[in-house]
Amino acid sequence: MPDYYELLGVPRDATPEEIRKAYIALVRRLHPDRNRYPGETELFLDVQQAYEVLSDPKRRAEYDAQLPPPVQAPSPVNLSTYFSRNTLLKISETQLLYVLLELGVTAESQSRALLNVALAIDRSTSMQGEKLETVKKAITDWMDALNAEDLYSIVAFSDRAEVIQPSTLYRHAQRTRSRIYAMQASGGTEIYQGLRAAYEEVLRSYAPERLNHVILLTDGHTYGDEQACLELAEEAAEKGILISALGLGSDWNDSFLDRLASRTGGSAHFAASAEDIVRLLNHLFQQFRQTYAEDTLFEFQIPEGVEISYVFRLHPETLPLATQSPLRLGPLLSQEPLVWLMEFRIAPQALRKEHLDVLQGKVSLTPLGSHAPLSFPLRLRFPVSSEPDPSPPPAILVKALSRLTLYRLQEQAQQQAQSGNYARATRTLHYLASHLIGQGERSLARTVLLEAERLQREGKLSEEGKKIVKYGTRALVTSNDREKGREKDAPVS
């Protein structure tokens, strides 16, 4: 007898709504109009049969009665949680709770993900000259990292978009190089034009066993189409397509690119010079090859009196995330964990019972090449007591908070400067610089102090300095020594 629950990728106690959502997601991938591989039509029919049975309460009950006991196979993925406190205090003030969540692949995975990647390249007037020539070389160097079976496409845009290379296999890449070098700079910057064309190229070749990704490269602000870009990112996220962004130089909107990337679970990066593009592209592609699951989704509910005030993805790519459900956490790598930190504000009225479920939800993902999603239920329940818990928070959480504090200090300084409170912003920058010096980050601390002097002298921060400090402190959140903080910690699952 076929296991319809396994076919839909849901547990046997799944709710009707969970069954419906799983069915819709599979139908979108397997519909005959989109079939490209042998066996997908048959699988589509099996999925339909499974849904017809499990969506009917009477047929489901009859089916369940015939099922053998479930076989508990070890999960290939493990979810661990770390808390800043084990008990919530019954006090008359709002209290903070920090939760670190870590998702890691436990199974050995030797496969390398095949790619379906589109590059959207800004070729507006601001890119003319040496900048565009260096980017052209960076892109052709990047192409050398592709495999013969990878799919790639290239779009050039200014105030209109041109598909330089439609989606094709890399083994046909030689003819693309001349097209790249023929690009000329002209026009203004309308990111939506390039983003839409690149998204459509990825969508045209979409396959669940591939990593489907758009990479945007721009050096300027877009004009009047930011909302359209964000709506396109939402559309891409629903289709399972990620968007990452590379900002070149200092004259681009980092807040906008952060929001654009976070809508899909992608990443945003700062390239101080065109030469950095090769390094960043290589870095992205090393991670692409390690991808176990492309799109990790976190759905949750919180009770009245509980507020999520901050969510930050710490690893493998640092990025501030939205605070509402569902959260697009991005890819899970086979050799590195996916780690994110949540800050909760607990109001006194939420603590009237002996226990509080701060959050209930689930984390779900679909491994590349699989049609069956994995799902991990999550309930964060804490006892409520009048007595404080004396046990210290785990070292891995303390270390993460310490490093994240540096990033949030620069956020505070920028907000204070924007509101005209230059004296307070200057003090915050000096405080940040002293902490950076204490951690041996002297070069970054020097930039912070120069920006503090500029703020006092000119009443503003430089665009370049703001980005160096922002992305410099962001890079410190994830460091190679993060494992040292874990040695004495036992995760709470």
- CB neighbour class for 148 (10 Å; exposed up to 12, middle 13-18, buried from 19): exposed
Q: What pLDDT shows up at residue 12?
A: 84
Domain boundary among 257, 289, 321: 289
481: which 2 tokens? 């020594």
**Paired strand residues for 344:** 97, 308
What pLDDT does residue 340 have?
A: 96
The verdict on 345 and 402 lying in the same domain is no
Mean pLDDT of 124-152: 87
Mean pLDDT for the stretch of residues 175-192 = 89
- Asked if 130 and 250 sit in the same domain, the reply is yes
Helix, strand, coil % in the chain, rounded to nearest 5: 45, 25, 30
* Domain co-membership, 221 together with 206: yes
Range with the poorest average pLDDT among 57-66, 266-275, 455-464: 266-275
Instruction: Give the Cβ contact number of residue 220 at 10 Å.
Output: 20
Mean pLDDT to the nearest integer, 304-323: 93
For the chain, how far is it from start to end, CA to CA, in angstroms?
33
Residue 173: what pLDDT? 64
Q: What amino acid is encoded at 47 in this protein?
A: V
pLDDT greater than 70 at residue 487: no
Same domain, 132 and 247: yes
**Backbone φ, ψ for residue 214 (5° rounding):** -110, 130
Question: What is the domain extent for residue 349?
Answer: 77-109+292-385
Indicate whether 272 and 140 sit together in one domain: yes
Res. 479 pLDDT band, cuts 50 70 90:
low
pLDDT at 482 over 70: no
pLDDT at 278: 83
Among 331, 361, 385, the domain boundary falls at 385
Closest alpha carbon to 162 in 142, 186, 146: 186
**Cα separation, 347 vs 351, whole angstroms:** 8
Question: Cβ distance 338 to 314 under 8 Å?
Answer: no
Query: Which is it for the CA torsion 315, 320, 324, 327, positive or negative?
Result: negative
Check pLDDT > 70 for residue 310: yes
State the burial class of residue 310 (Cβ atoms within 10 Å of its Cβ: 0-12, 13-18, 19+). Answer: middle
Predicted pLDDT at 169: 86
**Helix (H), strand (E) at residue 299:** strand 291-301
With a cut of 90, say whether residue 138 has pLDDT above it: no
Question: In this structure, are 103 and 118 located in the same domain?
Answer: no
CA distance 337 to 329: 12
> Of 255, 273, 289, which residue is a domain's last?
289
Lowest mean pLDDT among 25-29, 66-70, 351-355, 430-434: 25-29
Q: Flag the least confident range among 142-156, 360-374, 477-491.
A: 477-491
Answer yes or no: is 241 within a domain.
Answer: yes
Rounded to 5°, the CA angle 267-272-273 comes to: 115
Domain count along the chain: 4
Cis omega (within 30 of 0) for bond into 316: yes
Q: Say what the pLDDT of residue 149 is.
A: 86
User: Residue 30's pLDDT is what?
Assistant: 67
Per-residue pLDDT averaged across 106-125, rounded?
84
- Backbone phi, psi, residue 151, to 5°: -100, 135
- Using the predicted structure, report yes or no on whether residue 295 has a pLDDT greater than 80: yes
Lookup result for tokens 């006892």: 383
Neighbours of 375 (CB within 10 A): 18
Kindly state the tokens that stand for 232.
Answer: 């396109």
Residues 153 and 242 in one domain: yes
Cα 253 from Cα 428, distance rounded (Å): 23
Q: State residue 110's pLDDT score.
A: 55
Give residue for tokens 């709770």. Answer: 97
Percent of the chain with pLDDT over 90: 59
C-alpha span between 478 and 459 (Å, rounded) = 32
416 and 444: one domain?
yes
Q: Is the pLDDT of residue 277 over 70?
A: yes
**157 and 221 share a domain?**
yes
For residue 9 the two structure tokens come to: 């990728």
233, 291, 290: which is closest to 262 by C-alpha?
Answer: 233
Which of 205, 176, 185 lies closest to 121 in space, CA to CA?
185
Regarding whether 372 and 410 lie in a shared domain, the answer is: no
Mean pLDDT of 439-456: 94
CA–CA distance, 73 with 252 (Å, rounded to integer) = 49
Q: What is the CATH number of the domain that holds 169?
A: 3.40.50.410
Q: What's the CATH code of the domain at 48?
A: 1.10.287.110
User: Does the residue 492 lie in any domain?
Assistant: no
**The pLDDT of residue 246 is above 60:** yes
Token output for 295: 């799109």
Q: Is 486 inside a domain boundary?
A: no
Write down the mean pLDDT value for the chain: 87
Q: What torsion, rounded to 10 degrees, do the Cα atoms 265, 271, 274, 278 define?
A: -50
- Residue 223: pLDDT band (50, 70, 90) is confident
